[in-house]
Structure 1
Amino acid sequence: MPRERPTALLVDLDGVLRRWDPEVAAGVERRYDLPAGVLLEIAMQWALLRPAVTGQLTHADWMVAVADALAGPGRDRERMQAAVDEWQADRGTVDPDVLAFVREARAAGVRVGLATNATDLLEADLALLGLTEEVDVVVNSSALGVHKPAKEYFQQACLAVGAPPAQVLFVDDEDRSIRGARVAGLSAYRWTGPDDLRYLRAALAI
């Protein structure tokens, strides 16, 4: 049975609309004599990340926990906090191709929501990046208390964007989130880069 044409779009932030330069973290790690990749490795540990993206821990406290985990024999605690702070000073950049697509979708009458696992810093980040007025709704896991790929997250996201799951197209760069969206009844597309925009435009008929 053919699916309904989407009337709403949910777009992930990190890895889709927002890009991160890996050289930022790599440079901090070199300057502070840290192993390559250790900042993300620690920050993304689920025991630390989950409380931050479900509103149980502030972004600031999450970063304190990362600095605590970095500190140890031969590593000064204050110096590790300075490394984390320097790393976190970079808030990424907006992908201009994806932003253009979002604008086209809205101009065509498609409601667009930002669907992200994020911390309480999201509102400030969106303002800094100039994205506050670029979407119709923001669905932040830390505000909901539930994160992707949970079915409950997608149910709330569809309510926020004002469309039933069968009429929502979700775009994300993580397989787990794509699978979760499909379980919840949404159409879902795994983002790999700007070459995907041709398909997405066709899917929305814009």
Structure 2
Amino acid sequence: MTPQAIVFDMDGVLTDTEVIWDEVRRGLAADEGRAWPEEATTAMMGMSTPEWSRYLVETVGLSGSPELVANRTIDAMAERYLVHLPTLPGAVEAVRRLAGRWTLGLASSSPRRLIDSSLAALGLTDSFAVTVSTEEVERGKPAPDGYLRACELLGVDPAASVAIEDSSNGLRAAAAARMKVIAVPRPEFPPAEDALALADVVVEHLDEVTVELVAGLV
């Protein structure tokens, strides 16, 4: 047996953008004099655009509709990406290494606009057979919808496929989709212990995600 496909998360796995998301959202709150709830950063990881924009309005207290807040946030993210899109060590090499053996998909909480621009900047657009934004499914992570949709588009069985994730909500989503899960936790935003326990393998760096490691998971 060997995995039928590999599905990557993007933010926090390929791109080191979780910090940028946090800085942009905190900046919007600070501009309006709103206090930043202690749990807000972790809570929004993996949420779809409608979910996190509603959270920013209803919980953080930003002014305007969720749609307007989403547009302000995404515009600010796009501006930051134009200046510099930080890539995690070994990300491009890991994608190309695994793409040489398996079909790849991507299930991201980023909006379509940022997925496409990020993969283009990394030179990885053609490495992924399908990409799914949580804007394009009913529920964001920790619901499994994005991973299930990616597997559906790839024509593979989720239980015979592998997900690569970093965050609590992402790990929960991949596990809920019944996929084999490789965790690459980020030290800045460590996943909860119960979420990390859902992973089949935990590695510190993408360099450890070898063909041999992945092949042994299914």
TM-score range, shorter chain: 0.5 to 0.7
Once residues 202 and 52 of structure 1 are traced to their aligned partners in structure 2, the CA distance between those partners, rounded to angstroms, is 38
Residue 137 of structure 2 contacts residue 145 of structure 2 at CA under 8 Å; is this kept in 1?
Answer: no
Distance 1:129 1:42, change over 3 A: farther
1:42-121 equivalent positions in 2, closer than 5 A: 50-52=48-50, 69=61, 88-91=78-81, 92-108=85-101, 110-121=102-113
Alpha-carbon separation, structure 2, partners of 1:187 and 1:173? 14
The residue that corresponds to 1:76 in the other structure is: none
Query: How many Å separate the matches in 2 of 1:51 and 1:20?
Result: 16
1:153 has 2:173 as partner? no
3-state SS, counterpart of residue 180 of structure 1: helix
TM-score (norm 1): 0.64
C-alpha root-mean-square deviation of aligned residues, in Å? 4.3
Aligned to 1:132: 125
- 1:34 positional shift: 8.4
Amino acid at match of 1:52: P
Deviation at 1:161, TM superposition (A): 2.4
After TM superposition, give the deviation of residue 158 of structure 1 in Å: 1.1
The answer to whether the 8 A contact 1:17-1:94 is kept is yes
CA distance in 2, matches of 1:84, 1:50: 12
**Tell me, what secondary structure is at the counterpart of 1:10?**
strand
Larger CA Rg, structure 1 vs 2: 1
Distance in 1 of aligned mates of 2:118 and 2:17: 13
Q: Given the superposition, is the C-alpha separation of residues 130 and 186 from structure 1 closer, same or farther in structure 2, using an over 3 Å criterion?
A: same
Structure 1: stretches of 5+ with no match in the other structure: 72-80
Deviations 1:108-145 (A, max 9, x none): 2x011111112242334433444322312101111223
Which amino acid in the other structure matches residue 174 of structure 2?
A
Structure 2 partner of 1:202: 212
Task: Return the TM-score normalized by structure 2.
Answer: 0.61
Are 1:169 and 2:162 an aligned pair?
Answer: yes
3-state SS of the aligned residue for 1:6?
Answer: coil
Q: Is 2:180 aligned against 1:182? A: no
Question: 1:93–1:129: 8 Å Cα contact kept in structure 2?
Answer: no
Please name the residue that 2:135 is paired with: 142
Q: Give the match for residue 77 of structure 1.
A: none
Q: Can you give the 5+ residue segments of structure 2 that lack an aligned partner in the other structure?
A: 64-70, 187-203
The number of aligned residues is 181
SS at match of 1:145: coil
* Residue pair 1:12, 1:116 contacting (<8 A) in 2 also: yes
Identity %: 21
- AA aligned opposite 2:212: A
